[in-house]
Amino acid sequence: MIINHPLLGPRDAAEFVVKGDANLINRPDWQADDAAQQFYEYAYLRDNPAGEHRELWYHEQGDRSWLVVTRNTLTHEVTKVELARDVARAAGRSA
């Protein structure tokens, strides 16, 4: 599988480590009234879609960047690769 890194171009998936659901970026607010419930869901509940899925990948044998890879779990087709930094910033989670 080839992952088309937004900065570095096409790279072999062997250079990466997969972390799992990209929803891990959306860490709940610890001061919310229902923080315990939100963290329970954040830590333990995952969608397991048959089809398009967004995952966090870490470019360990490369520039050590975190990526959000949109991948079809049925075909392994990679349709989108973004820097996790940009995704987090777009969601207002990072300066």
Partner 1 sequence: MPDFTLTPTSPLKGFDKQFGDIRLREVTDQAILSLATPLGGETALKAAVGSAWGLEMPAPGRSSRADDGKVHLLGLGADQIFILKPHDHLQPDAPVREALNGAGYATDQSDVWAMLEITGPGLRRALERICPLDLHPDAFPVGAVARTMMEHMGAIILRSGEDAFILLAASSSAGSFLHAVETSLNWTAP
Alpha helices in the chain (DSSP H): 35-44, 84-90
User: Cβ 28 to partner 1, closest distance in Å?
Assistant: 27
Q: Which is nearer to partner 1, 38 or 65 (CB)?
A: 65
Binders of partner 1 among residues 49 to 78 (CB under 8 A) are 61-65
Q: Which is nearer to partner 1, 39 or 66 (CB)?
A: 66
Binders of partner 1 among residues 8 to 47 (CB under 8 A) are 8-12, 14-15
24 exposure class (CB count in 10 Å sphere: 0-12, 13-18, 19+): middle
